[in-house]
A = this chain, B = another copy of it.
Amino acid sequence: MKLKEFASQLGLSPTTVSRALSGYPEVSEKTRKRVAEEAVRLGYRPNINAVRLVTGRAGAIGVIMGRTGEFHFAEFMSGMAERLDGEDIDILVSPTADRDATDEISLYNRLVTSGRVDAVIVHSPKPNDERIALLHGLGFPFLVHGRSETDVPHAWIDIDNESAIRRATSHLIDLGHRRIAMINGRHGRTFSLHRDKGYRDALQERGIPFDPRLVAHDHFTDELGFRYSRSFLEQSPRPTAFVAGSMMTALGIYRAVRSRGLVVGKDVSVIAHDDVFPYLTAENMVPSLSATRSSMRAAGARSADLVLQLLGGRPAEEIHELWTVELILRESTGPAPAEAQS
């Protein structure tokens, strides 16, 4: 059913019907109500593409999904969806070639200039991120989930990774640990750098030398968690504690520790970062996992909210949000063992 047809059935002009439905003031309450009721009854719904063309708004927020199928991603999106429910704005997920950086840039370019979306969310930025430069150059609204160090003013939301990891590491030092391994995220991403900094600062504060042989950077998978921790545990003296970037990594560490006949929480302490997944909870692991915690879903919801504000006209340089991360101590952390020779 088209507007014209619908309007004539009501004995009104398309103008009035359009205004009635989009809540303009210049239409009497009586007609507005009638129009609304009839729209439901007759099932009239404006053609979204016509609306988009004429208003110039796309009614969608773009997200670019890497090929690696991050498990965080679904939670983040689910949070976005939660906030966007009822807003008549959807989430457009763009396949990424993911072959190289040039491709990714041209993908952003295409996505933005084609008018498919009103704003995009940039994930896991690097300190000097090309995507941010591009989007800023195009004058396109965007929100960065994470932080970068570029000069261009832009909206961002992030968690305080540095302080979270500093506190986690400090806590382990308080417990007497001196050889603390760190399995961090991918090289070059700002969040990894921030976590590195938190880790190193905590060590330095207490005069513990930094040992590069105790640090790894990679994707968050249980297998890599297992491999790195396994190889760290082969060192002598071996680490007595681990700081891990994700729950999956922690699963790998647990396995590695067990496979060496050691006990988590006694021989080896573990703190991991927990993005709060409904299907895998730190509390229920055995032993329960001490964690730095921040809800990915909440971040997604808030991100959607901030994008809405951005589109509503709030200046980007005003939108900076840094979330504090909880440190929750459970059974996987304990005093350093008296002696720790392998």
Interface residues of A (CB under 8 A from B): 43, 45-50, 52-53, 58-60, 65, 67-71, 73-75, 77-78, 80-82, 84-86, 90-97, 110, 113-116, 219-223, 226, 248, 251-252, 255, 258-259, 277-281, 284-286, 297
Q: How far is the CA of A65 from the CA of B63 in the complex (A)?
A: 15
Contacts of A59 in B (CB 8 A): 116
CB closest chain-B residue, reference A56: B49
Least CB distance, A49 to chain B, in whole angstroms: 4
Integer count of this chain's copies in the complex: 2
Least CB distance, A274 to chain B, in whole angstroms: 13
Q: Is the interface of A mostly helix, strand, loop or mixed?
A: mixed
Contacts of A280 in B (CB 8 A): 221-222, 248, 251
What 3 A-B pairs are tightest by C-beta distance, nearest first? A81-B95, A69-B78, A74-B74
Can you list 14 pairs linking A and B with CB atoms under 8 Å apart? A60-B92, A65-B77, A65-B78, A68-B78, A69-B278, A69-B297, A73-B74, A81-B93, A84-B95, A90-B94, A91-B93, A219-B279, A248-B280, A255-B285
Contacts of A71 in B (CB 8 A): 71, 74, 277, 279
Least CB distance, A138 to chain B, in whole angstroms: 11
* B81→A65 contact, CB < 8 A: yes
CB closest chain-B residue, reference A281: B223
Q: How far is the CA of A285 from the CA of B258 in the complex (A)?
A: 11
* B284→A258 contact, CB < 8 A: no
Contacts of A74 in B (CB 8 A): 65, 69-71, 73-74
Contacts of A45 in B (CB 8 A): 110, 113-114
Q: A85-B96, A221-B279, A222-B279 are in contact. Are A50 and B53 (CB under 8 A)?
A: yes
Least CB distance, A187 to chain B, in whole angstroms: 18
* A115→B48 contact, CB < 8 A: yes
Q: A94-B90, A255-B285, A279-B248 are in contact. Are A67 and B81 (CB under 8 A)?
A: yes
Contacts of A96 in B (CB 8 A): 81, 85
* B116→A48 contact, CB < 8 A: yes
Q: How far is the CA of A278 from the CA of B74 in the complex (A)?
A: 14
Least CB distance, A185 to chain B, in whole angstroms: 13
